[in-house]
Structure 1
Amino acid sequence: DLEKREKLAGILSYITCLLKFMSIPSHSIDKLVTANTEKYKESSTIPGIILIKFMKMFADAQKSMLSREKSQLLISYILVLTLFVDEFDSDPSDIAKDLKMTPASLKPYYMELGCGFRKSCVILSLPLKFPTLRLPSQGGRRNRR
């Protein structure tokens, strides 16, 4: 139906903006933070209000660049949106090409999102199953006073 197609078109457009933002070199992000943002908004292919939102969400304010953590967050946002578009049953090979990564290198990101794997597909099923944290055992430690 028309409403569903419009919603999917909006999500795909947003994914495209996220991918464009991710491809901006670090030195350009630094210029965006320090320079007149209005000037850049006029020349950018990313709409101004969305660019400002991405800067707040993903650019590290202290370093004026995409930190490793923020870059991982950006990738996770993109993967969640692609899962939504594919009705939570997605083939990661296409988005891996767009992210300039391999499908295997995306596996940890999908696991953090609670996804399962079936052949070449990633599935987000309910209830969510997240990887368990392995805490060091304290069996060998004793309090000595």
Structure 2
Amino acid sequence: MLGLCLGLAGTLWAQVPTAHFTLAWSHTIEKIRWEEDYNVTPLGLVLVEARVQGTGAGMEIPDDAYLKDGSWHYQPKLPILPVLRLGRTPEAGDFELCFTQISGDIQCKAMSHWIGPPNKQVAAVEVWGCGNQAVAIK
């Protein structure tokens, strides 16, 4: 099984054993939850669906979005991402990673569970599929 790798500049900090995950966070100004579902593939991360619970600064809802269970759902049209780079500072709060465990339960934990809390000295993290050879030789 492919896993999800967390690190920076090709240095591995942690590995999460999953082939599908949800990345979630709250908008820093509007405090509205945003979620993105990804599949981990040998070529990179595939963004499958995104959800946002409202609109606000920089949070326009796409024309093809539909409202379900209090969130706007839509399918972003992005190419496969070899690496996803995320800004991560104490002021913005932390990202949350959610994935299905072997038992079938969904587990959500702050990214700090795997790599420690956000800090100003290292204000970013990169996320990639652990089997992605393009990232491994970077």
**Higher normalized strand content (fraction of residues):** 2
Please, what TM-score do these two structures have when normalized by structure 2? Answer: 0.25
Bigger relative CO (Cα 8 Å, ≥ 6 apart): 2
**Higher normalized helix content (fraction of residues):** 1
